[in-house]
Structure 1
Amino acid sequence: MRILQVISTFYPALAFGGPVKVAYNICMELTRRGHDVEVFTTNAYDQTRNFEPISREQIINGFKVTYFNNKLRFSNLFISSEMITTLCKRFREFDVIHTHFGRQTYDIVVSLCSRKYTIPYILQAHGSLPRIGSWRRLKWFYDVLFGYRVLRNASRVIALSHVEADQYRRMGVPEEKIAIVPNGIDLSEYANLPSQGAFKKKFGIPEDKKVILYLGRIHRIKGIDLLIKAYAYLIEKVGNKDAVLVIAGPDDGYLNDAKALAYSLRVSDSVMFVGPLYGKDKLAAYVDSDIYVLPSRYEIWGLTILEAYACGKPVIASNVGGPKDLVLDNETGLLFETGNFRELAERIMHLLNDENKCVEMGKKARKLVEQKYSIENVVKRLENIYSEVTA
């Protein structure tokens, strides 16, 4: 099957978070299964910069990627006239188109070309449906003009969870077009983990210190302020000084505020902002952590939860969206009421004081990700959807 994946940002633009990694893994697994996969994307590198690829067209792990010049951007809206032109010219070459994110100019083109040439397309929003944030009025305007139509014209829409499925329904997508397919991870990346202590040694963390880890975009919606407040509460009210808080990830507009908060709460000496971590460095951070925390105010999935699971680590997460489904409370981790930093502090303290519980949860977490969230299982479900819409 000839499959086109259309996504605004792609490898090596890992600063844009989980969807980039998810799309990359999907392409790799589809290629491994014998499909002819191609990717159309832009050369956006992070929130402010573009990059110059060695070649506009590249073969990566057996699939072709075309990087189009990103001419203009508004927040997470990327505009490439070259991509739009090429989509129109080459649309008929593919059996199915899988478009990612939604509310992009290429989604409009895909929808129009799909109707013209009767070639099906799949749309996967990756949690982008709610009109939240500073651009919510622009999102409403886009939805009224194009968005509702783009969603309804799709042969299928991919929801990561029941929460996102409800969001599609509220946008007017018929029930029979909604398919719930979780994100998965490539477990082969976790077969040979870095040795214990490598991360601590690199960043000067004493061996006897425990590590509370957050890894992801530095954005207020991720609840980083709640985590810093919970950590300060642990030190001041409970007197726990045995752990350091490591916050890793690219700045998405909140880094300075987070550092200022840590300073104002007098915990800046033990809150470490280590910047983005990729590859072996990211795995080393998971390996040396005792607990992974995802305190998001809004989170449709939570790929880092699966990454922590793959490294055998328990997770503490807010009981919202995807994390509420991914974290089996008291089995693979603990949940806390979204926004309640005192409850978060209590959950952290509970696990820090029970090393055996952490180990037990970590083993269950690893088993869960192997059984339900491997990339092989996820892509098999996507394959079935592609076959259904092209039949």
Structure 2
Amino acid sequence: MKNSKPKILFILHVPPPVHGAAMMGKFLQDSSLINDTYECSFVNLSTSEKLNEIGQGGFNKVMRYFKLVYRVVHKAIKDKPNLIYMTPTSKGVGFYKDAFIALVLKLLGNNLVYHFHNKGVALNQHKLFDNFLYKLTFRNAKAILLSARLIFDIKKYFAKEDIFICPNGIPIIDFSPSEIENKPHMNILFLSNLLVSKGVYVLLEACQILKQLNLPFRCEMVGAEGDISAASLQEKISELNLHEQVVYLGKKYGEEKYALFSKSDIFVLPTYDEAFPLVLLEAMQFALPIVSSDVGGIGDMVTSHQNGFVTQPGDAQKVAEHLAFLIGDENEARRMGKNGREKFFASYTLEKFEQSMNSIFSDLTK
């Protein structure tokens, strides 16, 4: 009997390397709901195998790219999908590479939906060539955004009725959140790749302020090396005389990572540029009050005085003030953490994400 399920070709990022868009791609690839509802095929859009290769060139990456183009075109011609789902980079060379693939698929007559896990279109739309390419690539296509707060980034190229909103969601972890009970110091957790854009140096400046205030805290920094090396980080920690308060623990995954969340009291991500960071959802699940930046969709996840605080990016003084408040008022820190956990289960589980994506795909394949 002929399969009557709609066909979807997914062109997306999956690990390695590990980052938010790749994790969401993996969740989609493994989703029983999506795979049972549609006839799915998947192509990995990434040409980077390691985090530090992202944004870099090289012969190997060029060869991977041409192999990627061949695989995508071959799949599109062979499978004749009803819909092609793609997670493009929004700007720069990454967008140029993804746009070429998208334009080839459009020439073949395919219907495309773009799922934006990053932002940057609005920053580059004034450039003559970029504007021209955005118009060609996005014409007659649909878009999925992580938050309505990100509509500004693509509104020049997509009508409101062509934009769908689907927040990220993550699996429920079988770990109990810790309680703040008579601890000698508050445990502050930073968990992200070591990148300047993640606010690593902002956090260290904030920690220096906390030390000057003689507040009891320990800050554990966890993540893979990026444009900040482990050696550079340690050098900065020593320069600020924070070696007794701040420790870098390297990369942690799986149960080791969850154990860190479970024993922490506060989560901090003073990022400069973000769309919808999964790590904040993890922190919410573990009932941690959050101090982060008011960028991208973070304002959806974190509401000041309810489940944490949001600041303007780069404001180490404000980050320190909010951390000092949470360190000084355990009851408020506990209340905010519980509010965040409730919000996570209400809105940001993997099940809710899959249901939202399924509803969008249903609309787009009718």
TM-score, with normalisation over the residues of structure 2?
A: 0.85
Alignment of 1:44 with 2:48, yes or no, is yes
How far 1:131 sits from its partner (Å)?
7.5
Check whether the contact 2:17–2:50 (CA below 8 A) recurs between aligned residues. yes
Supply the distance in 1 between the matched residues of 2:129 and 2:195 (Cα, whole angstroms): 24
Does the 8 Å CA contact 2:144/2:164 hold for their aligned counterparts?
A: yes
In structure 2, do the counterparts of structure 1 residues 246 and 142 end up closer, same or farther at CA, with 3 Å as the change threshold?
farther
Residue identity opposite 2:17 in structure 1: A
Which amino acid letter does the alignment assign opposite residue 71 of structure 1? N
Aligned equivalents of 1:222, 1:130: Cα separation in 2: 20
- Distance in 2 of aligned mates of 1:182 and 1:276: 26
Matched, 1:5 2:10: yes
* Counterparts of residues 88-99 of structure 1 (less than 5 Å): 88-92=73-77, 93=79, 94-99=81-86
Q: Distance in 2 between matches of 1:21 and 1:144?
A: 30
Shift of 1:367: 1.2
Report the Cα distance in structure 2 between the residues aligned to 1:278 and 1:141, rounded to whole angstroms: 43
1:47 shift after superposition:
2.8
Q: 2:134 aligns with which of 120, 125, 147?
A: 147
Range that drifts further, 380-389 or 364-373: 380-389
**Residues of 2 paired with 1:259 and 1:335: CA distance?**
27
Q: Is the 1:83–1:106 contact (alpha carbons within 8 Å) kept by the matching residues of 2?
A: no
2:218 to 244, 247, 268: 244
Q: Aligned partners of 2:262, 2:219: CA distance in 1, in Å? A: 15
CA contact (8 A) 2:121 2:154 kept: no
Cα separation, 1, equivalents of 2:311 and 2:101? 42
Partner Cα separation in structure 2 for residue 309 and residue 346 of structure 1? 21
Cα deviation for residue 193 of structure 1 reads: 5.2
Query: Does residue 1:191 correspond to 2:195, yes or no?
Result: no
Does the Cα contact within 8 Å between 2:222 and 2:251 map onto a contact in 1? yes
Letter matched to residue 211 of structure 1: N
Query: How many Å apart are 1:361 and its aligned residue?
Result: 1.7
CA contact (8 A) 1:216 1:304 kept: yes
Rounded to whole Å, the distance in 2 between the matches of 1:49 and 1:106 is 17
Contact 2:43 2:71 in 1 (8 A): no
Verify the 8 A CA contact 1:313 1:361 in the aligned structure 2.
yes
The answer to whether the Cα contact below 8 Å between 1:26 and 1:375 also exists between their aligned partners in 2 is no
Partner in structure 2 of residue 71 of structure 1: 60
Query: Which consecutive unaligned segments of at least 5 residues does structure 2 have?
Result: 1-5, 90-94
CA RMSD for the aligned pairs?
2.8
| Worse-superposed segment, 316-325 or 286-295 | 316-325
CA distance in 2, matches of 1:101, 1:90: 18
Per-residue deviation at 1:145? 5.5
Which one of the candidate residues 173, 187, 203 is aligned to 1:227? 203
Q: Is the 8 A contact 2:289 2:307 kept in 1?
A: yes
Query: d(CA) in 2 for partners of 1:44 and 1:297?
Result: 23
Distance in 2, matches of 1:384 and 1:24, equals 19
Counterpart selection for 1:83 from 68, 82, 103: 68
The amino acid of 2:40's aligned partner reads: V
- Judge conservation of contact 1:286–1:311 (CA < 8 Å) in 2: yes
Q: Give secondary structure in 1 for the equivalent of 2:322.
A: helix
Pick from 23, 26, 43: which aligns with 2:28?
A: 26
How far residue 353 of structure 1 moved from its aligned partner, in angstroms, is 1.8
Q: How far apart are the structure 2 equivalents of 1:32 and 1:113?
A: 22
Change (3 A) 1:86 1:249: same
- Partner residue in 1 for 2:115: 124
Shift of 1:380: 1.9
**Number of residue pairs matched by the alignment:** 345
CA distance in 1, matches of 2:201, 2:349: 32
Kept in 2, the 8 Å contact 1:246–1:272? The answer is yes
- Matching residue within 106, 120, 129 for 1:114: 106
SS of residue paired to 1:158: strand
Query: Does the 8 Å CA contact 2:167/2:353 hold for their aligned counterparts?
Result: yes
Measured at CA, do residues 329 and 146 of structure 1 come closer, stay the same or move farther in structure 2, by a change above 3 Å?
A: same
**1:279/1:329 CA distance change after superposition, 3 Å:** same
Instruction: Sort the Cα spacing of 1:280 and 1:195 in 2 relative to 1 into closer, same or farther, 3 A.
Output: farther
Q: Distance in 1 between matches of 2:241 and 2:26?
A: 41
Cα deviation, 1:331-361, whole Å, max 9, x if unaligned, reads: 1112223322112111111111222222222
Out of 172-181 and 40-49, give the one that drifted further: 40-49
Partner of 1:53: none
Paired residue for 2:343? 368
Does residue 356 in structure 1 map to residue 357 in structure 2?
A: no
Shift of 1:268: 2.9
Give the match's secondary structure for 1:72.
Answer: helix
Deviation of the 1:31 alpha carbon: 4.0
Q: What SS is found at the alignment partner of 2:188?
A: strand
CA distance in 1, matches of 2:119, 2:188: 28
> 2:152 matched to which residue of 1?
166
Relative to 1, partners in 2 of residues 1:249 and 1:141: Cα closer, same or farther, differing over 3 Å? farther
Q: Which residue of 2 aligns with 1:105?
A: 97
